[in-house]
Amino acid sequence: MRITSSEPKRGNPALLVALVIASLVLVTMYFRESDTGVLHRARTVTLAVTAPLAQIGDTIASPFTAAGDWFAGLGVSRKDIDTVRAQNDELRARLAELEEARQENDRLRALVQFAEERKLTKLGARVIGRPTSAWEGVIVIDRGSADGVVRGMPVLALQGLVGQIEEVSANSSRVRLITDQDSGVAAMVQSNRAVGVVRGSIDRSLRMDFVEKKSVPLVGDVIITSGLGGVYPKGLVVGDVIAVDARRADLYPRITVSSRVQADQLEEVLVLLGPVTGGDVGVVE
CATH number of the structural domain spanning residue 203: 2.40.10.340
pLDDT of residue 18: 72
Whether residue 170 lies inside any domain: the answer is: yes
Is 9 a residue whose pLDDT tops 50? yes
Whether residue 49 lies inside any domain: the answer is: no
pLDDT of residue 278: 36
23 φ, ψ (degrees, to nearest 5): -65, -40
Q: How crowded is the C-beta side of 87, counted as CA atoms within 13 Å?
A: 6
Is 58 a residue whose pLDDT tops 50? yes
Whether residue 243 lies inside any domain: the answer is: yes
pLDDT of residue 231: 86
Whether residue 283 lies inside any domain: the answer is: no
- Report CA-CA distances (Å) from 258 to 160, 162, 219, 241, 263: 11, 12, 11, 6, 12
Whether residue 80 lies inside any domain: the answer is: no
pLDDT of residue 90: 74
Whether residue 58 lies inside any domain: the answer is: no
Summary mean pLDDT of the chain: 78
More confident residue, 221 or 44: 221
Segment 72-77 long-range contacts (CB within 8 Å, at least 24 positions apart): none
Whether residue 161 lies inside any domain: the answer is: yes
Whether residue 280 lies inside any domain: the answer is: no
Is 59 a residue whose pLDDT tops 60? yes
Give the rounded distance of the alpha carbon of 10 from its chain centre. 84
Mean pLDDT of 105-120: 64
Domains in the chain: how many in total?
A: 1
More confident residue, 68 or 139: 139
For residue 184, what are the β-bridge partners?
199
Q: Which domain, by its residues, includes 163?
A: 118-272
